[in-house]
Structures are given as structure tokens and as C-alpha cells.
Amino acid sequence: MATPKRPLSPFMIGPYYRPQLTSMMSILHRATGVALAVGSLVLAAWLVAAAGSALAYESFAACLGSLPGRIALFGFSACLVYHFLNGIRHLFWDAGRGFDIPSAYASGYAVLALSVLLTAVLWWFGMGGVA
């Protein structure tokens, strides 16, 4: 079946819209969601390794404890904190609350600030546990 080339609606941000806080946070919610989905498979691998042999768990722990592993873990935690906070913002919107522009901006800045703060707090505790 031949599919004719039909015009597609353009990607709006950039050539037509200036980036706004709201649209950037929306795309970031998706990006962190995709990253977390991939990271969730590592969580499954962690559980399988924990249930498996000592060698399996040692290899997994060595992977996660390596520098790339720690960087990935930091990325995962930052994504998790942001997606968690912004997800709550989305749930309030779904309930019809805080959807006016001033509130959406205020909650947006609050989510960004809290994301940085909570990720930092998490790693402050995390590094204490590792050291």
C-alpha cells in the first residue's frame, strides 16, 4: 500500500514558539520518564541479582559502584526526584487545580528548586552511607 507523503504539523518550539518554562518542563517530564523507564530495568536486574548467586550480586554491585555506575545512579535519582515532583504537579492539574498561568509558573519554579534541593539531600545521605 502506497502511503502518500502528507504534510506533518511542525515541531513548534524553536522556530515558532520561544521556549517557555512550562513547555520546557513538560518535555523534561517526558525525557526523565523515558530515562526512568530504562532505569527501572536496572532495578529489576538488581532484584534478580540479589535473588541469585553471590557472584551475580558481586558483579552487579561492582557495575553500579563503578564511576559510570555512580554517574548513572546520580542521573536516575535526579530524574526520579524531578519526575516525582512534577508528576504531583500534573496530578493537581488533572484534578483541575493550579492550571492558571501564574500558578503553573509558580509551581514550576517550586518543582525545579525542590528537585535540586531534594536530589542534593538524597546524595548527602547517600554519600554518608557509602563512605
Question: Which residues would be at the binding site for other proteins (CB under 8 A)?
Answer: 30, 33-34, 36-37, 40-41, 43-44, 47-48, 50-52, 54, 57-58, 61, 77, 80, 84, 87-88, 90-91, 94, 122, 125-126, 129-130
Shortest Cβ distance from residue 130 to other proteins (Å)? 5
- DSSP three-state, residue 19: coil
CB nearer to other proteins: give 16 or 124.
124
CB nearer to other proteins: give 94 or 100.
94
CB nearer to other proteins: give 91 or 113.
91
Say if residues 108 and 22 touch (Cβ distance below 8 Å): yes
Alpha carbons 60 and 42: distance in angstroms, whole number: 10
Alpha carbons 8 and 106: distance in angstroms, whole number: 34
Shortest Cβ distance from residue 131 to other proteins (Å)? 9
Shortest Cβ distance from residue 87 to other proteins (Å)? 6
DSSP single-letter state for residue 15 = T
55 alpha-carbon distance from chain centroid: 31
- DSSP three-state, residue 13: strand
CB nearer to other proteins: give 93 or 105.
93
N residues, the chain = 131
Shortest Cβ distance from residue 93 to other proteins (Å)? 11
Strand partners, 88: none
